[in-house]
Amino acid sequence: MQDHARRFAALGYVARSNVHPRERPDRVLRAVWASALSGAGPVGALATGAARYPSAPAVVDDRGSVTYRELWGRSARLTAGLRAAGAGPATVVGLLARNTRFFVEALVGAAGTGADVVLLNTSFAAAELAAVVDAERIDILLHEEDLSSLAEQSGARLRLGEDATNRLGGRGGGRAWLPARRSGRIVILTSGTTGRAKGAARRAGPGALEGAAAVLQRIPLRVRDTQVVAAPMFHAWGLLHLLLGLSRSATTVVQSHFDAGATLEALEAHRARVLVVVPVMLRRMLALGPEALVAVDFSSLAVIASSGSALGADLAAGVLRRFGPVLYNVYGSTEVALAAVATPGDLSWAPATAGRVAFGSRVEVVDEAGQPVPAATTGRIFVGSAMGFEGYTSGGDKERLRGLVASGDVGHFDARGRLFVDGREDDMIVSGGENVFPAEVEDVLSLHPGIAEVAVTGVDDDEFGQALAAYVVRRPGAALSVDDVRDHVRRSLARFKVPRRVVFVDELPRTATGKVVKRLLA
The pLDDT tens digits for 168-184 are 877 655 554 555 556 67
**What mean pLDDT, rounded, does the chain reach?**
89
- Angstrom distance (rounded) from CA 164 to CA 480: 53
- Angstrom distance (rounded) from CA 334 to CA 444: 28
- Angstrom distance (rounded) from CA 432 to CA 83: 62
- Angstrom distance (rounded) from CA 136 to CA 82: 19
Better-scored residue on pLDDT, 284 or 205: 284
Element (H, E) at 401: strand 400-401
Class of domain 428-520: alpha beta
| Mean pLDDT lowest among 123-137, 192-206, 243-257 | 192-206
- pLDDT score for 1: 41
Contacts of 346 (CB under 8 A, 6+ apart): 353, 355, 356, 418
- pLDDT score for 176: 47
Mean pLDDT, range 115-119, rounded to an integer:
95
Closest CA to 273 of 242, 248, 298, 246: 298
* Residue 222 scores a pLDDT above 50: yes
In percent, the amount of the chain with pLDDT more than 90 equals 63
Q: How do the domains of the chain map onto residue ranges?
A: 68-203, 428-520
Cα four-point dihedral sign 236, 237, 242, 244: positive
Q: Which pairs with CB-CB distance under 8 Å and at least 24 residues apart come from 321-329?
A: 322/286, 322/290, 322/293, 323/298, 326/301, 326/302, 328/218, 328/219, 328/303, 328/304, 329/354, 329/355
Contact 235, 199 (CB under 8 A): no
- Angstrom distance (rounded) from CA 251 to CA 270: 10
Closest CA to 69 of 92, 49, 39: 49
> What are the two backbone dihedrals, phi and then psi, of residue 360, each rounded to the nearest 5 degrees?
80, 0
pTM (predicted TM-score) = 0.86
Class of domain 68-203: alpha beta
Cα four-point dihedral sign 440, 441, 447, 452: negative
Quick check: do 68-203 and 428-520 share a fold?
no
Tens digit of each residue's pLDDT (9 = 90 or more) over 401-445: 998 989 989 999 999 999 999 888 878 887 877 778 888 899 899
Q: How far is CA 107 from CA 26, 42, 146, 201, 427, in A?
A: 28, 7, 18, 15, 35
